[in-house]
Amino acid sequence: MLAGWQRGGSLAERLVWVAIGVVLVVSAHLLPALIRGSPALVRGVGRILWLTCMAAACFGHAQFFVLAQQHAGELRAAAVPKSAVVPTGPNLTAVMAERAEVTARLAAANAQPCPSHCPTLEARRVTLGAKLDALDAEADDLRRRQAADDRAVTRRDALMVDPVTARLAALLGTTVARVDLLSGLAFAMVLEGVSCLIWTVALQSRAPAMEILAVAAPAIASHVLEPAGHGPETVSHAPDSTPVTPLPAAESADPDVTQLAQAVAAGLVRPTVSGIRQFLGCSQAKAIALRRRLAALTPAA
């Protein structure tokens, strides 16, 4: 949803992108579980659609991861204090140009002979030398200021990148952008893969109970539902047969007890708390209550 919201421009475009992302993610999660019992043609088409949905969902996740890392880098870089002193006056290029001019004038003054007016020429030489020293000091100050600005920019650029990603990129000899993209895709694939597995297991856990009911139906019809007056009979052809007693009317009104007694009589469920929980998918408290009612219905050996 966040990736779709960041991808769109207007509000309508963002809402459409969010809806598309939700549909793609839900389809990527549920398609493997929903098509596992379908015909081969449906499974083939479903697998192709699932791969497409997975690719689109992973792309959206990777976009979110990369943008999140970029935003985190911007926040880290904003914490670096900027230079409070705004440089005024000429820049280093202008200072060096003026220095070159003064150096040339000083060289000309030094090369000029002194037949007369020697004090004036000497004063000019001293003045040009002092101005040259002042320009050198100004140039050094500008160089130090530029070096400090460069260090601040370098620090901000370093904080823009996740430190683990930067070290991993240096170790692998690749760029940080590639590592960010590959790590985002890897996280997305793991996330979607785990979701698909969990949905498959969750939807498959209901299948054994339905299969047990389907298999138990013939056995229930032939061994449990006996006419009144025949009394309790024992199923002798089953290796682990147990006596089966017709349920009283008060107990047969409970469908869970009836279903459980029939399954136990058919030898499909163990009359234990864990077996009842696995068969009915109920809580432990309800399984204990059903176990007691079932024990009350079973005659003592």
Mean pLDDT throughout 225-231?
43
Asked if 249 and 269 sit in the same domain, the reply is: yes
Asked if 291 and 212 sit in the same domain, the reply is: yes
Asked if 277 and 232 sit in the same domain, the reply is: yes
Asked if 262 and 154 sit in the same domain, the reply is: no
Asked if 70 and 218 sit in the same domain, the reply is: no
Q: How confident is the model at residue 15 (pLDDT cuts 50, 70, 90)?
A: very high
**Which pLDDT score is estimated for 300?**
42
pLDDT tens column, 104-114: 888 887 877 77
Domain limit, last residue, from 137, 171, 204: 204
Asked if 37 and 142 sit in the same domain, the reply is: no
pTM: 0.47
Average pLDDT value over all residues in the chain: 76
Q: Does the structure show a pLDDT above 60 at 178? A: yes
Q: Does the structure show a pLDDT above 60 at 75? A: yes
Q: Does the structure show a pLDDT above 50 at 233? A: no
Q: Which domain holds residue 251?
A: 207-297
Number of domains present in the structure of the chain: 3
Asked if 62 and 166 sit in the same domain, the reply is: yes
Asked if 148 and 264 sit in the same domain, the reply is: no
- Distance in angstroms (rounded) separating the CA atoms of residues 283 and 278: 10
Asked if 282 and 216 sit in the same domain, the reply is: yes
Residue 149 placed within a domain = yes
Residue 86 placed within a domain = no
Residues listed for the chain: 301
Long-range contacts of 104-112 (CB under 8 A, 24+ apart): 106/132
Asked if 51 and 128 sit in the same domain, the reply is: no
Q: Does the structure show a pLDDT above 70 at 224? A: no
**Three-state SS at 237:** coil
- Distance in angstroms (rounded) separating the CA atoms of residues 289 and 257: 10
Residue 84 placed within a domain = no
Residue 3, both tokens: 């990736």
Residue 87 placed within a domain = no
